[in-house]
Structure 1
Amino acid sequence: MFKAVVAHSNDPDSLSAVEEIIQQCLNSLAGDIPQAGIIFAAIDFEHSLILQKIHQAFEGIELIGGTTDGEISSVLEFQQDSIALMLFCSDEVEIHAGVGRKISADPITATKQAVEQAKAKAKTTGTPRLCLTHPESLTTSGVLILNGLKLALGQDVPIFGGLAADQSRYQNTYQFFQTEVLSDSVPILLFSGKVLFSYGVASGWHPIGQKSKVTKVDKNILYEIDSKPALDFYHHYLDSLPPSMEYPLAVFDGDTDNFYIRAPIAYNSESGSITFFADIPNQALIQISEAGYDDILAASKSSFMNALNNYPGTEASAVLFFSCVARRQILGTRAHEEYENTKLCFKKSLPACGFYSNGEISPIDLISQTKFHNETFVTLILGIR
């Protein structure tokens, strides 16, 4: 048995909201005992109170989560200033939580701590099937966090999730672990046992122009493309328009046609450099990319359909969505259509939960290692064999 239930409240009062989601969960659980959960919450709630109430209601639950830039569920669909909770019940899937602290000081040690803590609780000693995470986004690079998790888990364990957000204030995000409200941390859930899963990844952005090579970069600050100032590259395609998240870079994965997105956030006219939301590898092949509103919205449906078509079981139990704050900002009042596009593909009601993040984590395709994405819609479908 593998069962997921979802609760969602947009009540602005923290106590009323958490009481509402607990009651929704109890109604859906119908006596089943949840083993683990993941919670997505807007930045202005009393998070400590919410976590304590959830643990009082579901003693011993393995719980992670964090703050967001918008919440998604099959209960209230797209919301802002809300709380969404997904709980998992199973007698054949083990789900355990861990956390690494002070991630900015030492990402390798912190991610190792999180993995070791979760693994230490497991009854089996086998390799986990997948990892969910909701880490910090402002104190250190999401790429470094992901690299640390891959090192601790092994390169073949797929990782999914999104970085914590704070409604585009870019001041302070919070991560949740059991009853703790943390910053500068990496909470994880490890799934082992008979869990089945599939995933889909799509952005809607299309590379244009010729491929070029990154020739000078320092983490997320890009100085030169094809040995010329990075700004010159953008001006070649956009004339006087400055770099913006409407025209991100497609970064190709090795010598394949697969790519992930890097969104610019600032530029320096004197140095000709451009700062991006995440690191870009030196010598990487890149192209500028573009997308219209319909392209971006079509990507959410494509992501879901790819996950659904690749699901290896007969009946899925739950779906998680991780979308990007930049997508929400660009879509504006049409952001609600992302979830609506996926809902139209459901053959029957499927518990769904997700959030808008400061960066998404998922493999690009069925054979690639996990990558860190910007401006991308990730679908993860869970079930049991």
Structure 2
Amino acid sequence: MKIVQAKKDKGADFVFVTDKINLVAPLVLVFGNRLLLEDQNLYAEIKEMFPAGNIVFGSTSGEILEDKVSDNTIVLTAIEFEKSSYLVKSKNVKEFDNNETALGSQLISEFPKKGLKHVYVISEGSTVNGSALIEGIEKEKHISIGLSGGLCGDDDRFEKTLASYNSNPKEGEIVAVGFYGDTLEVTSANYGGWTGFGPERIITKSKGNILYELDGKPALDLYKKYLGDKANELPKSALLYPLSVKTSENAQPIVRTILNIDEDQNTMILAGDVPEGSIVQLMMSTVDDIAEGASIAAKYATKNREKRPELALLVSCIGRKLVMDQRTEEEVEEVLDVIGNQSKIIGYYSYGEMAPFEGDNACKLHNQTMTLTLISE
């Protein structure tokens, strides 16, 4: 595997952080601030750098390159696979009337199954129901095929997110990269580091990822009551206090953050499904707990691996970044301590993360976690 990495600051040219070498048909992953990705010349600029490259874009809430976290930048990693191959497909949610389950099923059906080891998804993040998207993919793929990825971000603006494949970044795009090869090893894992507090409540009315009522009362009103003065800063302030959602008493809890609120309907729109009857509790965390969570995620991802990871794709949640503030890079350093400095790292801060629970094969949508996808040939 040959890897070239570069970074672009606002108003500047790309600067290579590795040796600039010629690559054969590379996969070029480009993560960056949404406002910078709106530059209509950007795709042509990168295509000139990598004429034979297949270029995938995703907007972010912060960019990760090696051991550094930056804002208002674009980070780029170009990968030439020497023993394996890849295939990229994309769809737009508008083509499917916002039916993410149908989109996911159609998207995965276009990948030849022979030799397919893993699918990595970079999805629109501002309106998508990530749970439904994953459900559609999981329904059509074999359980042995791995699935991970993330929802694009837009800092803490929550205005719109962008993604694309071999075109200028646009709204509503969902891009999937399929990895093929007998010698290819891909592992993924996630972990949070958040703790529940306050009373547990029951979801008494919801539809998909829209939360209407808790214990028979308007969910948004209850949530605002807990937030107090911070309610005026919604939906940004919700990132500091996500919800723990358990579909049953013994189920593994899934963390859900709020993507948006609807004042007229008095509802909360979350990144993934919140089924009726689920048990809900507010959550909070500290900088140290989040950093430790990143370390645990890295340990899960490296557990039972046969080869040293050559490339690490990191997706962490914007909520973690807001809590850690000036100490954000500590969680990336914790990951590096586990996987080693030999691995090339690229990633971004997101509105949602996709990975299986430890010890499980089925992918789930998470919020407030550090998610790793480790790749080697």
Classify the TM-score, shorter chain: 0.7 to 0.9
Counterpart pick for 1:377 among 348, 361, 370: 370
- Equivalent residue, structure 2, for 1:196: 185
Encode CA deviations 1:163-205: one digit per residue, 9 max, x unaligned.
1222222222211201342221111100122321222311111
1:211–1:358 distance in 2 versus 1, CA, 3 Å: same
1:153 corresponds to 2:147: no
Encode CA deviations 1:93-146: one digit per residue, 9 max, x unaligned.
2211011124462434543453345x26xxxx5162111111112243222322
Question: Under a length normalisation based on structure 1, what TM-score does the superposition of the two structures give?
Answer: 0.83
2 CA distance for matches of 1:241 and 1:283?
28
Partner AA of 2:186 in structure 1: F
SS of 1:179's partner is: coil
- Equivalent residue, structure 2, for 1:357: 350
**1:182-331 equivalence runs, <5 A:** 182-193=170-181, 194-208=183-197, 212-227=201-216, 229-230=218-219, 244-252=238-246, 256-264=250-258, 274-308=268-302, 310-331=303-324
- Equivalent residue, structure 1, for 2:56: 64
Deviation at 1:227, TM superposition (A): 4.4
Gaps of 5+ in 1: none
- Equivalent residue, structure 1, for 2:5: 7
1:215–1:57 distance in 2 versus 1, CA, 3 Å: same
Partner AA of 1:202 in structure 2: Y
1 CA distance for matches of 2:230 and 2:101?
39
**1:40-119 equivalence runs, <5 A:** 40-45=31-36, 47-74=39-66, 77-103=68-94, 105=97, 106-117=99-110, 119=111
1 CA distance for matches of 2:347 and 2:315?
6
2 CA distance for matches of 1:175 and 1:111?
16
1 CA distance for matches of 2:62 and 2:163?
15
1:59–1:236 distance in 2 versus 1, CA, 3 Å: closer
1:196–1:171 distance in 2 versus 1, CA, 3 Å: same
- Equivalent residue, structure 2, for 1:134: 122
Identity %: 20
1:241–1:28 distance in 2 versus 1, CA, 3 Å: closer
1:352–1:232 distance in 2 versus 1, CA, 3 Å: same
Deviation at 1:383, TM superposition (A): 1.2
Check conservation: 2:100, 2:129, Cα contact below 8 A: no
- Equivalent residue, structure 2, for 1:338: 331
SS of 2:123's partner is: coil
1:232–1:98 distance in 2 versus 1, CA, 3 Å: closer
Question: Under a length normalisation based on structure 2, what TM-score does the superposition of the two structures give?
Answer: 0.84
SS of 1:111's partner is: helix
2 CA distance for matches of 1:324 and 1:80?
14
Encode CA deviations 1:133-163: one digit per residue, 9 max, x unaligned.
1111224322232223323434553321111
Partner AA of 1:353 in structure 2: I
